[in-house]
Amino acid sequence: MPGPAATLRLATFLRPAAILRVAAAGLLAAFLLRPQSFAPLFAPLTQYGAAPIYDQGNLLTLALAHVATVCCAAAASAIIAIGLGILVTRPGGREFLPLSRTLVNIGQTFPPVAVLALAVPLVGFGELPTLIALFVYGLLPIFENTVVALQTSPPAVLEAASGMGMSARQRLLAVELPLAMPLILEGIRLSLVINVGTATLGSTVAAKGLGEVIIAGLLSNNTAFILQGGLLTGLMAVLLYDAMAVLERRVCANVRIE
């Protein structure tokens, strides 16, 4: 007989939402590994004998490049935004909060296409301008969540930590950041998912990614290509969002305030 923990895990796995996630992951993997198997489904969307499945590159390679670009940009955004959020919530850095907020808002004020247009003359075509655009675009949600999380730490807990003789650095690492972790991870998750869709624009400046599939469809008037690029990007965004949610629950469950 399975124990209570095993029964709970099985019940969780059999929930409709979990089944849909597994089905979405299986569909994504099947399409990336054997795209030609789906040709009959997309054939009605083509005209004049055009290819029903994108054949100008390997879909799996493009998808992996897409994810790598998004994750690299998200990691850079997280490092800078969390560091800046910590700085402006310390007594010596609070006066820089308005300036910092203005700077990180620039990424949301300028459309990603405009950032790409400004970056290309400086760094050339390829992955780098896309990374810059995604980095700038992903700063705001992480920064704001970090600031809000650190500013709303329970005063009683902070006073207790100070009363135990903790230094400001010890209190930050052992108390404030663990308490802020759920909101910070939520900001990273939001930034990551937004940039999955935004990264498709990188193909306009020769960056590898699923945007190539969509652009190829637009140039050749092939609706099948456009739909494939959109569906792959959407599935990846949903699965990354769920994966980050699982990671967030695991990290927060293991956090202990000492």
SS (H, E, C) the chain: CCCHHHHHHHHHHCCHHHHHHHHHHHHHHHHHHCHHHHHHHHHHHCCCCCCCCCCCCCHHHHHHHHHHHHHHHHHHHHHHHHHHHHHHCCCCCHHHHHHHHHHHHHHHHCCHHHHHHHHHHHHCCCHHHHHHHHHHHCHHHHHHHHHHHHHCCCHHHHHHHHHCCCCHHHHHHHHHHHHHHHHHHHHHHHHHHHHHHHHHHHHHHCCCCCHHHHHHHHHHCCHHHHHHHHHHHHHHHHHHHHHHHHHHHHHHHHCCCC
pLDDT of residue 69: 93
pLDDT of residue 158: 82
pLDDT of residue 112: 79
pLDDT of residue 254: 63
pLDDT of residue 88: 92
pLDDT of residue 256: 54
Which of 148, 127, 109, 151 lies closest to 67, judged by CA?
127
pLDDT of residue 126: 83
Q: In angstroms, what CA-CA distances link 165 with 88, 175, 257?
A: 23, 13, 15
Averages of pLDDT over runs of 10 residues in the chain (258 residues) are: 51 66 86 90 87 90 93 94 92 88 83 82 87 91 93 86 84 87 91 90 88 92 92 91 84 62
| Other beta carbons less than 10 A from residue 73's beta carbon | 26
Domain coordinates in residue numbering, the chain: 55-254
Gap between the Cα atoms of 195 and 70, Å rounded: 6
Gap between the Cα atoms of 39 and 76, Å rounded: 38
How far does CA 203 lie from the centroid of its chain?
Answer: 18
pLDDT digits over 23-76, tens only?
Answer: 888 888 898 999 899 999 898 988 888 889 998 889 999 999 999 999 999 999
pLDDT of residue 252: 73
Gap between the Cα atoms of 173 and 36, Å rounded: 51
| Residue 2: φ, ψ to 5° | -70, 145
pLDDT of residue 8: 47
- Residue pair 162/45 in contact (Cβ under 8 Å)? The answer is no
- Residue pair 132/114 in contact (Cβ under 8 Å)? The answer is no
CATH number (1.20.1730.10, 3.30.230.10, 2.40.10.340, 1.10.3720.10) of 55-254 reads: 1.10.3720.10
pLDDT of residue 255: 59
> Which class for 97: exposed (0-12), middle (13-18), buried (19 or more C-beta within 10 A)?
middle
pTM, full prediction: 0.85
